[in-house]
């Protein structure tokens, strides 16, 4: 039988169990989970995982998602090749 895995962050291959484990240790903000597990640090910048993780945080803290800090989203909006950035305009 194949192992049942529930991958939440596909960029960094982080499973829901790991997210829940760190929330239980008190890492109950998006940015703390990001620092520990790299969720939201991959090429998709959290487009895939942010909503699911915020939902988990909401469940754990009892706060509505609208009151949670969604974490910092950094430039660039989409990955850009170094060669393109370095080009003279």
- Residues 49, 47: Cα–Cα separation, whole Å: 6
Peptide bond just before 76 cis, omega within 30 deg: yes
Which of residues 2 and 7 has its CB atom nearest to other proteins in the complex?
7
Contact 19, 39 (CB under 8 A): yes
Question: Contact region for other proteins (CB under 8 A) — 1-9, 13-21, 50-58, 78-86?
Answer: 78-86
Give the nearest distance from C-beta 28 to other proteins in angstroms: 9
- Cα-to-chain-centroid distance, residue 21: 15
Q: Give the interface with other proteins as residue ranges (CB under 8 A).
A: 25-27, 29, 31-32, 35-36, 38, 41-43, 45, 74-76, 79-83, 85-86
């Amino acid at each position: 039988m194949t192992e049942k895995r529930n991958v939440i962050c596909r960029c960094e291959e982080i499973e829901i169990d790991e997210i829940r484990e760190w929330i239980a240790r008190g890492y109950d903000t998006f940015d703390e989970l990001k620092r520990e597990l790299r969720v939201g640090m991959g090429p998709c910048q959290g487009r895939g995982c942010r909503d699911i993780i915020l939902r988990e945080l909401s469940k754990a803290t009892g706060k509505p998602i609208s009151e949670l800090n969604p974490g910092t989203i950094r430039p660039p909006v989409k990955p850009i090749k170094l060669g393109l950035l370095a080009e003279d305009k």
